[in-house]
Chains A and B, each alone.
Chain A
Amino acid sequence: MSQASDLNSVRQPITSANGLANPHYIDPRIFAEERDALLFDGWAGLAVVEDVPEPGDATPIDFTGLPLLLIRDRSGDIRVFQNICRHRGMILVDAPRKIEGAIRCPYHSWCYSPEGALVATPHVGGPGQNIAEGIDRDSLGLIEIRSHVWMNTVWINVSGTAPAFEDANADLIARWADFDRPLYHGGADSRFDLDVACNWKLAVENYCESYHLPWIHPGLNSYSRLEDHYHIEAPQRFSGQGTHVYRQLKSESGSCFPDFDRIDARWDTAAEYVALYPNVLLGVHRDHTYVILLMPDGPGRTTERVHIYYSQPETDADLRQRNARQWKDIFVEDIFVVEGMQRGRNAPGFDGGRFSPAMDGPVHLFHDWVAGRMLAHQERRLAAE
């Protein structure tokens, strides 16, 4: 368990706070504790709706060791279930596939509808007898995980205890109301993964701040200086940065991506980049949005799943590929610093570090959120014992 004394040193004003101590980035026990307190207790990002584009599509997702099944049911609704048979806990689906009629467990062939109902239990009462006392199909359906879709992202609350997504995130939803509309995934050339040797929280912390931009992303210096950026700070919910000088990508002929229809004029030159706690990084612009799902794979490894969206289903392919490449180049520039910070967490002299009061506000807020959630989680656990 992480020490309360360490966490309390994080929950201080930015001028005196330390960052989270090393074990929060390298200790498997604290990784497991954070999994429950940060990822499972709140609304975490799991996937995008395009991962299951058609009714009947199903794809398994391992979420920090939790076997999940993402399905688009026959009504077209997105559902998330635990990917296990209620009989003997066998994994039901091990690769993306279309469910034509039912999900059949590969072990004893219990069958589930795409809506999660248990519809068949072959030979459960003996050969040729598909009924048995005590096997109540109505109570043995797939275990559903609360889910919600926003910005084409599938959010899950594993604990089942979080407030409704739209209540928990009302302020960001309102802030970005201009983007609450159909978003069109750019397709195969607008999605990519980055496998990074760092704790997922370091990716959040780096994303939140503009302080590193002049050094790590020098290509931005010519048109998006440090002073053109502003902090976005919503304690206990999200933080990040915005820019006043977003510049649209142009084709050789001078055309741009089409804007989102009737978007507010403030987005003409503004763009915002927010980490919605715990694990989703979002970017919004007048002509495209993106989502980065941070998928933790142990204390020191994370897969970043990037998806880019546009205002129309069809966009210029060359421009789209340039945009994806540009964002990928920028995100790749961050890799050596997040991996370097991860390696640095093995230095026993590092005390979690300190924050620049002027430049690290959004980062400090994330650390404070983590520490607060961990302390609350520990208190609940102690109270339950």
Chain B
Amino acid sequence: MPPNETRDTRLAEALALGDTAAIVKVYEEAAEAQGNDQASAFFLTQAYIHAVEAGLPEARNLRAKLVKMGRETMR
């Protein structure tokens, strides 16, 4: 799937601003837009790590998705 320029721009802006909630959102959108599990899991992981670091409530659901995909530990 070709890169999404709008999403890339939004990600760059969010990273520059340190807007973790926006970073997580962009990565989640990217995950949903992928056509296969590995690509999706990559972006979900990016979203998850940023959410974990910031202590965002989204981290719980993101982790649950990765666990369901067999790509994260149960605990």
Interface residues of A (CB under 8 A from B): 100-104, 109, 111, 119-120, 122-123, 125-131, 137
Contacts and interface: CB of A to CB of B under 8 A. Distances in A.
B51 A101 contact: yes
Contacts of B49: 104, 109, 111, 120, 122
Contact of B59 (A101, A122, A125, A131): A101
Contact of B52 (A111, A127, A137): A111
A141 to B, nearest CB: 14
B64 interface: no
Contacts of A111: 49, 52-53
Contacts of B4: none
A222 B70 CA distance: 78
A100 B37 contact: no
Given A128-B44, A130-B45, A100 B53 contact: yes
A131 B53 contact: no
Contacts of B26: none
Contacts of A101: 51-56, 59
B39 interface: yes
A123 B46 CA distance: 9
Interface in B23-65: 37-46, 48-49, 51-56, 59
B72 interface: yes
B53 A128 contact: no
Contacts of B40: 128
B52 A123 contact: no
Nearest to B69: A128
